[in-house]
Structure 1
Amino acid sequence: MTAPPLAGSACETLREVQTRYGGVLLSAVLRYTNGDRHWAEDVVQETLLRVWRHEHRLQPDGGSRNLLPWLTTVARRIVINDRRRRACRPKEVEVSEGDPGFFTVQDGTSQILARIVVLDAMAKLTTAHRSVITEVYLHRRTISEVALSSGIPPGTVKSRLHYGLRVMRAEREKRGVTP
């Protein structure tokens, strides 16, 4: 089956095809893929890529016939080929942390990144907040020990600890780092 002709350059042709047939083609492909939208979008993209690759076939006479039958045939063939390809491959299995076959390799990267984020967040703190957090978390001192050694009331230590941790949490979230 050869494609019906369409006028314009390759980019214009592709843009016109996508505008004119994109939504209808996606609906048809969604039926072919049993509602799998991600797969359907991939198929539509591949179909449009083939329009772009074979643009010279689409415009020899500058006619304006309906391309939808040709596009749906190309898309249907792509889906069929995908199904055949998937049938030949071993099935993909999702593995979660709770599964006995799940394992991770500890390379230290996440620890290094966490350390960088913590150090950057600590740099944003005032000296008072930084020293309280350092005493409590790094030196493992209690609030009363920190208050006694620094000569400030325990309530102030708690307050500095709270607000310092809040700033650090905000910095972590700003960078997209999860605990």
Structure 2
Amino acid sequence: MSTTTTDERAIAELLREHGPALLHFLQQLTYGDSQRAEDLVQETLVRAWQHPEAFTAPYESMRPWLFTVARRLAIDARRSRQARPAEVSDSVLECASAPLDTADSAVRSLDVRAAVRGLSPEHRAVLEEIYFHGLSVGETAEVLGIPPGTVKSRSYYALRLLQRGLPGYSDRSRPAGRTTKPEACTTSV
């Protein structure tokens, strides 16, 4: 070994002699992450190669120096990961819903209000009770004092009139800015 560089034989000897203990130590520090521990072992050996003065130190063994370097590298790696925001994979981004366009929502709301005002008072009353107050057909019939069959009939025809009065808002078309989620996104994690 020279004082300016460390030869490959010395690094190979370090790895043979201290590698298994160093790997075990780093696996504990990385909570069992073997890949990260192996990377840290390699980085520790690179540091030993970059600092040949460590080989000439008055220690009986290089192990304390290697373990100190490895521990500091593990701490630095953990701090580095904590300082960065969590990485998000493409599949997560595909499942995220697109932000709603509030202008489109406001326009749709105004269109629906105008269409509802165009309905007859009887049709409007049925829709208000069922869709805005959340009542069932039976409850709506009771509130309005009409038979349940009439409630069903009026709600059916009122919705058909709304559909005709709101072109582009039918079940087959979706409002702008809204997309259906891919199959993979519909399952819960």
TM-score of Structure 1 vs Structure 2, range by shorter chain: 0.3 to 0.5
Q: Point out which structure has higher relative CO (alpha carbons under 8 A, 6+ apart).
A: 1
Instruction: Calculate the TM-score normalised by the size of structure 2.
Output: 0.44
